[in-house]
Amino acid sequence: MRVRVLVYNVRGFRDGADRVASVFQRFEPDLVLLNESGGRWRRRRFAKRVEMKAVGDPWSPFRRRVKDAVLVRAPWRVLERRSRRFEDSARWYPRGTVVVRVARSGYRLWVAAVHLGLRPTERRRHAEELADLLRGLDGPVIVGGDLNETPSGRAVSFLSERFWDAWLLGGDVVGETFPADEPTARIDYLFVSEGIRVERAIVPPIPEVRVASDHRPVVAELTLPDPD
């Protein structure tokens, strides 16, 4: 089973939802791992516009929301959803992950969107918490997002020891994703678990991505292992 995945920090759609939608329309992803997804209503409106279902951190009157989301395109469907706010996360900008189990034609897949913080010690601690959470999942896993550090960073190195970096398996040309106009740093990632084959991974140089956000997306073509 082939699946197209897009990893994208959209900066709360502050550069225009129309521009982000044009990127989606160019690649027509099956699954999207979204960071800085904005308010709930704006995220839902955008998902409807691109004909996908959005799953994010549930609203609560007692805490700020983790602004990660997973978008799913039919015929993929959502079976289960989880969210985790990382321990000792910043009160006004909480970090965490949204984890969704999706299915299609007998295939099952866990999809996790994550956005790590700006401090190295915090990133490493939260990467460990993320890995512990994903270790308990049954079946293939993909996880990705804006990790706010380059491949030599401690959090990325930690995750790279436990999952396969899709860019290293199928990366095409350069992998830098930030800043969008003239990228110089690879800080957005997609990782896959054992058994998932990466056919190709790109950071598209098309004009749309220069103005849709301050990050460029990562787009990957994956082949899932056959179900048992």
Q: Could you report the per-residue pLDDT of 8-45, keeping only the tens digit for each?
A: 999 999 999 999 999 999 999 999 999 999 888 889 99
What was the pLDDT predicted at 59? 60
Give the side-chain half-sphere CA count within 13 A for 2.
6
Total H helices, total E strands in the chain: 6, 12
Task: State the pTM of this model.
Answer: 0.94
Q: Which residues pair with 200 in a beta bridge?
A: 221
The domains found in the chain, sorted by start residue, are 2-223 (3.60.10.10)
- Torsion angle, CA of 187/193/194/199, rounded to 10 degrees? -60
Residue 73 scores a pLDDT above 80: yes
In our burial notation (b when 16+ CB lie closer than 10 A, e otherwise), range 60-82 reads: eeeeebbbbbbbbbeebeeeebe
Say how far residue 65 (Cα) sits from the centre of its chain: 17
The segment with the largest mean pLDDT, out of 57-61, 190-194, 204-208, is: 190-194
> In angstroms, rounded to a whole number, what is the distance separating the alpha carbons of residues 149 and 215?
13
What was the pLDDT predicted at 41? 86
Task: Cite the beta strand spans of 147-196 per DSSP E.
Answer: 164-165, 188-192
